[in-house]
Structure 1
């Protein structure tokens, strides 16, 4: 059984026991979080839409808060001796899918 969930403006395909990094959630490590389901499939049938998935959720456990890899932004103008180097590290949350409540 798998589900498509939405969090942080992105969609993820998850199954029970999966560990994934999502955009930062405002929760503490060890907390449980409920995520909305967009699609639910058990291999034989697939449920999509708000009516069949109204009471369906995915429960995940927060493992840690961390920063992702550094993304370098470098720009320059040739022959003008202008260059700018800037870095950014996105804040992420690592979660483990505990159960798919179907």
Structure 2
């Protein structure tokens, strides 16, 4: 059984027990969060659409808050002595999928 969930403007395919890093959620480690379901499949049948899935949510447990890898942004123009170097580290949340609705 798997589900497609939406969080942080992205969609993820998840199954029970999966651990994944998503964009930062406002919750502390150990908290439970409810994530909306876009698609639900049990291997035999697939349910898609907002009407049949409006009451379904996936339960996930927050494992930790952390920063992702550094992304380096470098601008350069040849023969003009122009170069700019900037870095960015995205705030992320590691979650573990606890329950997928039947």
Give, in angstroms, the shift of residue 55 of structure 1. Answer: 1.5
Count of residue pairs the alignment pairs up: 102
Segments ≥4 residues shifted beyond 4 Å: none
- Root-mean-square deviation (CA, aligned residues, Å) is 0.6
Between the aligned partners of 1:6 and 1:25, the Cα distance in structure 2 is 12
Give, in angstroms, the shift of residue 79 of structure 1. Answer: 0.7
Deviation per CA, 1:56-84, whole angstroms, max 9, x where unpaired?
11000000000000000000111111111
Structure 2 unmatched ranges of 5 or more? none
Q: Secondary structure at the match of 1:29?
A: coil
Aligned ranges 1:83-102 → 2 under 5 Å:
83-102=83-102
Give, in angstroms, the shift of residue 101 of structure 1. Answer: 1.9
Give, in angstroms, the shift of residue 25 of structure 1. Answer: 0.4
| TM-score normalised according to structure 1 size | 0.98
Structure 1 unmatched ranges of 5 or more? none
